[in-house]
């Protein structure tokens, strides 16, 4: 063991000398720029030339936290790799059919939740300002938290000690590696109904504040709070409320309920200056006028809220407007979480294990009912390759340029036809590169600039943090030789590849929408945020919270299909997956079937 320690010290010193010699800089390099601490060990600089790795509760010891303790060694020998776990969960249909219809489903679901959630620290650790633990990192909710500390400011190279002295231009990077050449549909069968849900759902808690330095959020909450439906602050909530029977304001067009106009409810919404006032819809999230798919979901949740209010009013005739509104909001939050876990995450994962929303599974486990949105989670969730080149609705093809800021599409076709159309049209494959529409490249460019401003660590460091094997070359990272060669030219070293390009350009898993890293890094953030919601805690998860058994059952039996079909005149084809068989491909006729 002494020999191992001596060897690692020698290697470190050689690297240090090599960098200072090649750069012509005689200054001492911060040793933490080498990311020497492994297995979640924390690097602490000592003096000017030394460092110490804090290995507390990592299960490892040694100078760089690289030597496993006895029980860690045993656990690592028995624990399958993430790749093996994914293979098992996506194969052997007969086995999972047995599990899904037995008491073992709860056991496996609990294991999925705890193993994933344990990867996310709670309470949070770092933020974009502090690369060490501080009260400000914990207490200041204006910051996104972050999983890994920032790249030290005094490193000799942008990504630490490897790579080129200048990072590639973000605009050139997105044009060369992100821009779509030909639309590549997701082989997993993801559709636009899923794509718009991804945007609608995440804008509750992804609200980067671009008025200040990078790493700040405008969101008052850090989780599923339905603020995208009700409004972020109290003033906006009251403006959107009808203040009668707990309901939200709305307008009726041909007997159907839609969001009110800004003329009726003067809340701030983001629309082009030339946009007609009568077409400016007032919604909880100020940017949801951007895409008809977002206004479609806003309309469905508006109708669902008012529908649930009617049910609670009958059940509780003595309740006032405030109690009806507040209880209905809790029910809506519960419906959102159930649909996201059992249908949205289920589809994304490709797992044959049937996922189940049952908070009681964690009541006897060590679990904290709180959440903070991480900067890395916000960045990796930019899935703009999902968007197609044009939108096919009721026999019409609408180009991307005419789809933006066009609320008349919702009012012209109606919710039913939009749902049917979006459920049938394939979305794009997210990872693998060369699949982002030109109209959204600027968003990817902005994410890269934000990542640099907040000094996010290299992609391979995050691979290590999530127990994934770091890539050794760009040719192992990508199965597209052109992308691999191009990235090698602009970055110089695989260990200098940036986080967001790494997430989006990584080769996809076979027949999958994502690469390995997106799933293994995104899932822990997602599940921790969903199950960390207060309504999932033992004090909340009971009938009285939701107005009794009737409201509780609305949450426990909610589905995407119910959300649509209980709030429309007829029931279209609705799913997060394009039609799988001939029966589903048939055009839907007006029906109320659930």
Question: What are the catalytic residues?
Answer: 203, 381
480 Cα distance to chain centroid: 26
Q: Are 432 and 505 in contact (CB under 8 A)?
A: yes
| For helices 321-339 and 292-315, angle between their N-to-C axes, nearest 10 degrees | 130
**Segments in 49-134 forming alpha helices (H):** 70-78, 82-89, 93-100, 104-117
- Tokens matching residue 330: 């809790």
**How many other C-beta atoms lie within 10 A of the C-beta of residue 351?**
17
Q: Are 64 and 37 in contact (CB under 8 A)?
A: yes
Q: How far apart are CA 453 and CA 398, in angstroms?
A: 37
What is the 3 state secondary structure string of 320-358?
A: CHHHHHHHHHHHHHHHHHHHHHHHHHHHHHCCCCCCCCC
What is the 3 state secondary structure string of 440-461?
A: HHHHHHHHHHHHHHCCCCCHHH
- Output Rg (C-alpha) for the chain, integer angstroms: 25
* 42 DSSP β-pair partners: 54
Q: How far apart are CA 575 and CA 589, in angstroms?
A: 16
Alpha carbon distances (Å) from 108 to 76, 88, 557: 20, 12, 21
Of 106, 39, 25, 75, give the one whose Cα is nearest residue 357.
106
Q: How far apart are CA 33 and CA 157, in angstroms?
A: 9
For residue 144, how many C-alpha atoms fall within 13 Å in the half-sphere facing its CB? 30
Tracing tokens 């509104």 back to the chain, one arrives at: 325
Tracing tokens 């009110």 back to the chain, one arrives at: 260
Q: How far apart are CA 333 and CA 247, in angstroms?
A: 16
Contacts within 8 Å (CB) and 24+ apart, 22-26: 23/156, 23/165, 25/156
Alpha carbon distances (Å) from 481 to 61, 171, 275, 401, 485: 39, 21, 45, 33, 6
- Tokens matching residue 448: 């890269």
Q: Which residues contact 476 (CB under 8 A, 6 or more apart)?
A: 494
Of 305, 283, 280, give the one whose Cα is nearest residue 411.
280
């Amino acid at each position: 063991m002494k020999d191992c320690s001596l060897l690692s010290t020698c290697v470190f010193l050689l690297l240090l000398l090599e960098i200072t010699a090649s750069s012509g800089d005689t200054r001492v390099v911060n040793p933490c720029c080498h990311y020497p601490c492994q297995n979640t060990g924390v690097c602490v600089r000592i003096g000017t030339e030394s460092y110490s790795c804090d290995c507390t509760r990592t299960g490892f010891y040694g100078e760089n936290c690289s030597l496993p303790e006895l029980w860690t060694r045993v656990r690592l020998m028995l624990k399958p790799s993430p790749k093996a776990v994914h293979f098992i969960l996506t194969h052997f249909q007969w086995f999972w059919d047995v599990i899904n219809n037995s008491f073992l489903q709860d056991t496996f679901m609990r294991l999925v939740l705890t193993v994933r959630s344990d990867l996310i620290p709670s309470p949070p650790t770092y933020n974009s300002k502090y690369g060490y633990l501080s009260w400000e990192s914990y207490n200041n909710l204006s910051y996104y938290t972050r999983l890994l500390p920032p790249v030290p400011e005094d490193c000799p190279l942008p990504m630490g000690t490897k790579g080129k002295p200048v990072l590639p231009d973000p605009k050139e990077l997105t044009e060369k590696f992100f821009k779509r050449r030909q639309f590549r549909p997701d082989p997993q069968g993801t559709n636009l109904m899923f794509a718009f849900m991804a945007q609608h759902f995440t804008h509750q808690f992804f609200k980067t504040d671009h008025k200040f330095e990078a790493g700040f959020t405008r969101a008052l909450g850090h989780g599923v709070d339905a603020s995208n439906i009700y409004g972020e602050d109290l003033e906006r909530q009251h403006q959107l409320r009808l203040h009668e029977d707990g309901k939200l304001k709305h307008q009726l067009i041909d007997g159907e309920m839609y969001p009110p106009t800004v003329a009726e409810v003067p809340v701030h919404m983001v629309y082009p200056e030339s946009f007609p006032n009568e077409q400016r819809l007032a919604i909880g999230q100020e940017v949801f006028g951007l895409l008809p798919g977002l206004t479609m979901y806003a309309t469905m949740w508006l109708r669902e809220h008012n529908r649930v209010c009617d049910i609670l009013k009958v059940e509780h005739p003595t309740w006032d407007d405030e109690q009806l509104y507040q209880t209905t909001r809790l029910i809506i939050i519960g419906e959102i979480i159930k649909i996201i876990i059992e249908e949205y995450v289920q589809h994304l994962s490709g797992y044959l294990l049937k996922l189940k929303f049952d908070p009681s599974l964690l009541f006897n486990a060590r679990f904290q009912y709180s959440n903070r949105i991480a900067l890395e989670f916000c960045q990796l969730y930019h899935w703009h390759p999902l968007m197609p080149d044009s939108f096919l609705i009721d026999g019409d093809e609408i180009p991307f340029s005419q789809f933006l800021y066009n609320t008349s599409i919702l009012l012209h076709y109606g919710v039913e036809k939009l749902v049917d159309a979006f459920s049938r049209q394939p979305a794009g494959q997210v990872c693998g590169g060369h699949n982002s529409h030109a109209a959204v490249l600027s968003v990817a460019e902005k994410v890269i600039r934000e990542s640099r401003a907040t000094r996010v660590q290299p992609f391979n460091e995050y691979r290590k943090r999530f127990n994934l094997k770091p890539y050794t070359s760009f040719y192992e990272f990508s199965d597209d030789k052109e992308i691999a060669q191009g990235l090698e030219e602009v970055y110089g070293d695989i260990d200098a590849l940036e986080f967001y390009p790494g997430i989006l350009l990584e080769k996809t898993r076979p027949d999958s929408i994502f690469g390995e890293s997106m799933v293994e890094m995104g899932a822990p953030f997602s599940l921790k945020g969903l199950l960390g919601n207060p309504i999932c805690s033992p004090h909340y998860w009971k009938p009285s919270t939701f107005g009794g058994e009737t409201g509780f059952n609305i949450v426990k039996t909610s589905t995407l299909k119910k959300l649509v079909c209980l709030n429309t005149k007829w029931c279209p084809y609705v799913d997060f997956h394009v039609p799988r068989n001939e029966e589903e491909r048939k055009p839907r006729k007006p029906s109320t079937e659930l």
